[in-house]
A and B are shown apart, each in its own frame.
Chain A
Amino acid sequence: GAVVSQHPSWVICKSGTSVKIECRSLDFQATTMFWYRQFPKQSLMLMATSNEGSKATYEQGVEKDKFLINHASLTLSTLTVTSAHPEDSSFYICSARPTGPNTEAFFGQGTRLTVV
């Protein structure tokens, strides 16, 4: 199947700093990618839809100024958590689907962010 690679797989940062997470589709082009956040023992909550060449679409309740998304190419989307705080600690995971109707979604490995 198609491969989506996410980096880093884990990161520890200090409160107030920013962290960038990368999501790459390795063998297909993705005009759209999705960013999810998952707290322990909870479901994957969609944060935003990343659109290549245009602004991301954020879900209700997600602060766009805090979670900056950039989708500068057809194979790369980045999520930057700005001014991170301990409550931002979570598992962040990206997803991409090859072009076409109802194609399978492929997920990155996820990034465990811990803010201390």
Chain B
Amino acid sequence: GENVEQHPSTLSVQEGDSAVIKCTYSDSASNYFPWYKQELGKRPQLIIDIRSNVGEKKDQRIAVTLNKTAKHFSLHITETQPEDSAVYFCAASSPLQKLVFGTGTRLLVSP
């Protein structure tokens, strides 16, 4: 089955800096890669997603890149703000639709 690895597990940055989180996946059939932000005790919230026919997608301060050959994808957050502090999860989905999550990255943005 699919296996998703995520790094780093924790990331501390200063406000205004950029943050990058990386994930790799194992199943070449996976074709949908969402990123979620989860605050303590809350449900995951989709922040951006990318499909396998696209190499890069951007939404304001957030961007995601996908390298299908290498089976890795990354989340880039620019101009970080304290409210970006949360746990971020990557995920991969096959055509069977089940999402397999990465291990999570705790992002701390210091003022």
A43-B101, A108-B43 known; 10 other A-B pairs, CB under 8 Å? A32-B97, A44-B89, A44-B101, A45-B101, A46-B100, A91-B41, A93-B44, A104-B49, A107-B43, A107-B44
The B-contacting residues of A in range 87-116, CB under 8 angstroms, are 91, 93, 95, 97, 101-102, 104-105, 107-110, 112
Shortest A110–chain B CB gap in Å is 6
Instruction: Knowing A34-B99, A102-B31, A102-B32, say if A42 contacts B104 (CB, 8 Å).
Output: yes
Q: Could you list which residues of chain A lie within 8 angstroms of chain B, going by C-beta atoms?
A: 32, 34, 36, 42-46, 49, 59-60, 91, 93, 95, 97, 101-102, 104-105, 107-110, 112
Which chain B residues have a beta carbon within 8 Å of chain A's beta carbons? Answer: 1, 31-32, 34, 41-44, 46, 49, 51, 89, 93, 95-104
Question: 8 interchain pairs (CB within 8 A)?
Answer: A42-B103, A43-B89, A60-B1, A93-B43, A97-B97, A104-B34, A105-B99, A110-B42
> For A97, what are the chain B residues with a Cβ–Cβ distance below 8 Å?
97
Q: How far is the CB of A11 from chain B (nearest CB, A)?
A: 14
Quick one: which of A32, A43, A109, A110 contacts B104, CB cutoff 8 A?
A43
Mostly, the A contact residues are loop
Interface contact B95-A101, CB-CB below 8 Å: yes
Given A43-B104, A44-B101, A46-B100, are A109 and B32 also a contact pair (CB < 8 Å)?
Answer: no
- Structural contact, B46 and A43, CB atoms closer than 8 A: no
**B98 and A46 contact, CB distance less than 8 A:** yes
A44–B88 Cα distance when bound, in Å, is 11
Give the top 4 A-B pairs by smallest Cβ distance, nearest first.
Answer: A102-B32, A107-B43, A44-B101, A43-B104
Residue numbers in A under 8 Å from B99 (CB-CB): 34, 46, 95, 105
Complex contacts, B98 vs chain A, CB 8 Å: 34, 46, 49
Q: How far is the CA of A109 from the CA of B42 in the complex (A)?
A: 7
